[in-house]
Each structure stands twice: as C-alpha cells, then as structure tokens.
Amino acid sequence: MAERRFDIRSQPGFGLIALFTFFALYLPIATLVAYSFNASDSLSAWGGFSLRWFASALENNAVQAAAMRSIIIALWAAGLATIAATMAALATTRTEPYRGLTAKYAVINQPLMIPEIVTAVALLIVFSRIKVWTGYSGLGYLILAHTAFCIPFAYLPIRARLESMDLTLERAAADLYATPWQAFRFVTLPLLRPAIIAGFMLAFVISLDDVVITEFVKSGGQDTLPTYMLGQIRRETTPEINAIATIFLGASTVLIVIFFFINRRKPQA
C-alpha cells in the first residue's frame, strides 16, 4: 500500500484559516483603495465616487518633489546594491568551500537578521560624524544607507541563480582559451541576467518603500514619498493620503509582478 504524502491543504480548517488570513491582510488595503476615490473630505464618511484626490496629489508640488527624490534614491541604491550583490554572489559561489564562508553569508545578510531600527540608529551615528567632518549633507547619505540595506535583497536571487547554474558552459569557455572576463561577459552574465534584473527590482521596491532608515538618516528638506506621507498623517489627514498610497501600491505591485515573472523563468542552463 502506497504511503500517503502529507498535504497541508487537506487538514481540517485549512481553508477557513486561509480565508481569514487573506481577509485580515487585504481588507485594510481594499478599504484604503476604496476611500481614495471618496469625494468627501472625510476619511470615514463616504461622499460619492471622485478622482479629485488623485488630481490633488498629482498637482501637489511637495508630492512631486518627494516622489522624484524617492525614485532617484531608489534607482541609485538599487543599482549600487545590485553591483555589490553580484560581485559578492560570484565571490561566495564560484569558489571551493573554506572556513569562514558561512560567516561571510551572515555578514552579507546581516540587514535581514537585525531589527531595521538598529541599522537606522547605527547609520545615523556614523553619518552624523561624517557630516560634521565634511560639511556635506546631500542625498549621498540616503543613497549609501539604502544601498547597504538593499544588498542582501539583491544578493539572494543572484546567489540562488548562480548555485543552480551548470558550470559546463563556463568550463567549455575556459577550455576554448577564453579569459575569466570573457567567460563572465559572454557566458555567465547572459545566464545571470534574469536574476540580476530580479535583484535590482526587488532592491528598488525595498528602497522605495523604506521609512525607518530614511527617517533617521535624511536631512531637512529631503523627504521621500513614504516619509512625506508619514509627516502628513501626523499633521493633517485627508483622502489625498489614500490616493498617494494607492498610486504607491499600484507601482509597487507592478514591479513585484514583473519580478515574479522574471524569477519564474526556467533556467536555460
């Protein structure tokens, strides 16, 4: 008699628990999206369907400046984090196992293992001293802070792709007298490209959504869209915040969907 495989979906109450979980997760989001189309000035009283708050948000100069600043920081941080993550993934996978390799994994993934508030406070202390020494207080600190935090998010998909790649083609290139750079450029990099793109997009979304590190590191007049929204909630809350959040949610969802489909592609080697 064949042994039955364990299937969590067949357990009593699984469907009910799953429905409750999805309900608890997505009901607040659905409510926020619905009330972003509210014609009323109230967050809780429905006054009819309207796009006035989307128009208000798109015409708001502070929102435009914060959104552009968020995109610039996220592009720079994601690009730098992806480059660093790619080099780190190559260094930790294209080598024979040795003592200390596991410790390197832990160091690279450290931002995932410690509370974000700890990273934020540490960066605040370091950057405050640098600001005193140099007098510079531009966006470079936010870009560096986001880069450091995003590296492990880009590293994980790139490392996973490298570990699943067949080394036959790389060895064949070496047998045909290709230099290490030529083998990387013409063999490894094309095979690694989907993972690099996925790592970049994941790092971009993480940087775009960050609040804690940005709130601690930013200087005056350097609000990103999330910190601008946080400040508006503290001062005055209108459905414009809902509209901004809905636009933000839509953009993040599109990027996550693209990341999913890129990561879902079957390896070609």
Q: Nearest Cα to 136, choosing from 219, 224, 221, 227?
A: 219
Architecture of domain 58-264: Orthogonal Bundle (1.10)
**Is the pLDDT reported for residue 269 higher than 70?**
no
Q: What is the pTM of this model?
A: 0.82
pLDDT at 263: 62
Q: Nearest Cα to 256, choosing from 186, 202, 190?
A: 202
**Is the pLDDT reported for residue 1 higher than 50?**
no
Q: Which residues are CB-neighbours of 136 under 8 A, at least 6 positions away?
A: 130
Q: What digits encode the pLDDT tens for the residues 132-174?
A: 899 888 899 999 999 999 999 999 989 988 888 877 777 788 7
Q: What digits encode the pLDDT tens for the residues 47-103?
A: 888 888 888 888 889 888 998 999 999 999 999 999 999 999 988 887 777 787 788
Name the average pLDDT for the chain. 85
Strand-pairing partners, residue 38, are: 49
**Is the pLDDT reported for residue 184 higher than 50?**
yes
Domain layout of the chain by residue ranges: 13-50, 58-264
Following CA atoms 186, 192, 194, 200 in sequence, which dihedral angle do they give, to the nearest 10 degrees? -110
Q: pLDDT higher for 183 or 246? A: 246
